[in-house]
Amino acid sequence: MKKPLVTPLDKNASTKAKEMAEFYQETLGFTPNSLFTMMHRPRIASAFLEMNQAVMENKGRVTSGLKRLLAYISSRTAGCRYCEAHAIRAAERYGSEQDKLNNIWDYKSYPAFSEAERAVFDFAIAASSIPNAVNQEISDRLHAHWDDGEIVEILAVIALFGYLNRWNDSMGTQLEEPAADDGVKYLGKNGWTRGKHSYEDS
């Protein structure tokens, strides 16, 4: 793509836009271009922000750090490089251990990951695949470690990022520099690049 499908609005375009910019400045350290594309229809942006806050709220064992690593695995499966970079940056900012950040794609065998986490990530891959690949074995493993409320939280993260993966890959959202830096830092060794989300050469 030569440019994003739709140009994001300026973060100072309205009072609501400014409020959203302030929220994401705290969570990510910058204002995401994706949100300000949604702001062309403010109700969509507002609904997304509410859903994001509800899904990412920490209710217990499904920690903030785990949710962001889960978001990364889901986005990697879907192939959205924009969301991969955002998720890994958020995982760092929300307390994921450095060892796990450095070795997330080796979760099946890397000793820093628990069997409960492995069950979550296997579920994330199956639930993010098309066609959906969740089966009885994956369900049984998930239920061995997590209760129903926790599973709802886990699937909510996958579903939220399913929306974001479709949005940002179809929109060709330009990746912000702080997220790009973390993408290179944590994911570059596994072949991550900005892909369609860079317009420096256009």
Handedness of CA 177, 183, 188, 193 (dihedral sign): negative
- 3-class SS of residue 24: helix
* Domain contains 10: no
Rounded Cα–Cα distance for residues 85 and 160 (Å)? 16
Rounded Cα–Cα distance for residues 36 and 85 (Å)? 18
CATH number, domain of 160, equals 1.20.1290.10
Rounded Cα–Cα distance for residues 87 and 183 (Å)? 9
45 contacts: CB under 8 Å, gap ≥ 6: 16, 20, 35, 36, 38, 39
Tens of pLDDT along the chain (202 residues) come to 899 999 998 888 778 777 778 877 777 888 899 999 999 998 999 999 899 999 999 889 999 999 999 999 999 999 999 999 999 999 999 989 999 999 998 999 999 999 999 999 999 999 999 999 999 999 999 999 999 999 999 999 999 999 999 999 999 999 999 999 999 999 999 899 999 999 865 4
pLDDT tens by residue, 59-94: 899 999 999 999 999 999 999 999 999 999 999 999
* Domain contains 158: yes
* Domain contains 51: yes
* Domain contains 6: no
For the chain, what is the domain count?
A: 1
Give this prediction's pTM.
Answer: 0.93
Structural domain boundaries enclosing 167 = 15-193
